[in-house]
Amino acid sequence: MRLVIVGNGPGGVELARRLAGKFDVTIVEKENLPHYSKPMLSHYIAGFIPEERLFPHSIDWYVEKGINLLLGTEAKLIDRFRKVLVTEEGEIPYDILVVATGARAREPPIKGKEHILTLRTLGDAKLIKERLEEEGEITILGGGFIALELAGNLAKAGYAVRVIHRGETLLGLDEETSGIIREKLEETGVKFHLGTGILSADEKGLSTDKGYIRGKLKVCAFGILPNRELAMKSGIHAGRGILVDEHLRTSAKDVYAIGDCAEVGGIIGGTAKAAVEQAKVLSKILEGCEERYDPSFRSAFFKFADFSVAIIGKTKGHGEWIDGNTKVFYDGDKLTGAAVLGDLRKAMRLEKSIKEGLSLDRS
């Protein structure tokens, strides 16, 4: 069976790793690099790790696993009727095709956006690193995990870091939990401008609804746009992302989608953890097991400078602290979510309890 995967991100690589040897696996990737870690890009920009450390697998790893890796090859169209993937380099026949094209960074829809960089690829990271070393300071737009990882690491490395965020809280959390994370990052040296909307940008800074903020190097880190174009051009249904059901099937026969490009139950995963989880579920489905992906449960673990944060399940509604660093959220007596700050030792256990819908006394 020929399995062709478009995209060499964590979703595509995890699927290939699990099915290598069982399927005849080909990965088609438009970048000319083996898989690299996006979560480590801010560590690289900060100068904490060399470029080589971003690559968990060498080219030899793919060869040893028997994975046919086609780098520098952009997929242009899925010909669903002939079951071939059309690329710049020619056609590749498939029995099963998996779209794992990920997402790109959202750009701010404002005048002067050409003065603002985005961060998604190693190329973006190299450009930011070079500019940062010249300027010594950076303005980061956004209050999500990518913005905070970048802010934390760059402040820890001694750069002057400003974060501008339209919302009043970080990571979509409640005021109290967000406040703790903000304070930890402020201790590292990050300056926050919350509740601040940006109006336009120029070379020297940003106009905001709270006044002009100076800073030549500006990086937008708020949100992603799923890469759904390949699927749409091929007549496959898409909403915000490529629409898939709980079996990760698209509207086309034998074509699946996973990771940041896929929309499951109205939700875009948006994390490497979700992409890997979907790859795991899909590998079982393709091996013939009865498996489903449940999009309603999400969790993610992050590190902002030296401060770890786990966000598990639903973190909205009624919450209470069960100890100094864990706030749990309920629906009736059922645990629905938790935010764990600092010490994450109990986060894995809580994740399991919340996933299984246990009540507090059983967790």
Check residue 361 and report its DSSP letter.
G
C-alpha to C-alpha distance for 274 and 290, rounded to whole angstroms: 19
Residue nearer to ligand FAD on the CB measure, 219 or 350: 219
Q: What tokens were used for 119?
A: 């961060």
CB proximity list for 97: less than 8 A, separation 6 or greater: 3, 4, 5, 6, 78, 83, 85, 254, 255, 256
| Contact string (CB under 6 A) for ligand FAD, positions 130-149, x = contact | ----------------x--x
- Taking the complex as a whole, the smallest distance from the CB of residue 3 to ligand FAD amounts, in Å, to 15
Q: Which of 201, 228, 226 has the alpha carbon at shortest distance from 215?
A: 201
C-alpha to C-alpha distance for 330 and 334, rounded to whole angstroms: 5
- Taking the complex as a whole, the smallest distance from the CB of residue 136 to ligand FAD amounts, in Å, to 21
271 is a site residue for ligand FAD (CB under 6 A): yes
Among 2, 20, 24, 30, contact with ligand FAD (rule: CB under 6 A): 30
> Buried (b) or exposed (e) across 129-145, using 16+ Cβ within 10 A?
bebbeeeeebbbbbbbb
Among 139, 227, 283, 353, contact with ligand FAD (rule: CB under 6 A): 227
215 is a site residue for ligand FAD (CB under 6 A): no
12 is a site residue for ligand FAD (CB under 6 A): yes
Burial class (CB in 10 A: 0-12, 13-18, 19+), 333: exposed
Residues 122, 54 contacting (CB under 8 angstroms): yes
Q: Which stretch binds ligand FAD (CB under 6 A): 2-10, 154-162, 332-340, 346-354?
A: 2-10
C-alpha to C-alpha distance for 63 and 11, rounded to whole angstroms: 19
Q: Is the dihedral of CA 324, 326, 331, 335 positive or negative?
A: negative
C-alpha to C-alpha distance for 243 and 99, rounded to whole angstroms: 11
Residue nearer to ligand FAD on the CB measure, 177 or 271: 271
Q: Which of 274, 344, 270 has the alpha carbon at shortest distance from 303?
A: 344
- Taking the complex as a whole, the smallest distance from the CB of residue 127 to ligand FAD amounts, in Å, to 13
- Taking the complex as a whole, the smallest distance from the CB of residue 90 to ligand FAD amounts, in Å, to 14
Binding to ligand FAD in span 40-99, by CB under 6 A: 41-42, 74-75
231 is a site residue for ligand FAD (CB under 6 A): no
Residue nearer to ligand FAD on the CB measure, 202 or 246: 246
Among 4, 29, 169, 281, contact with ligand FAD (rule: CB under 6 A): 29
- Taking the complex as a whole, the smallest distance from the CB of residue 38 to ligand FAD amounts, in Å, to 3
Residue nearer to ligand FAD on the CB measure, 205 or 223: 223
Q: Note the residues at the interface with ligand FAD (CB under 6 A).
A: 6-12, 28-31, 38-39, 41-42, 74-75, 100-103, 119-120, 146, 149, 227, 230, 259-260, 270-273, 275, 300, 302
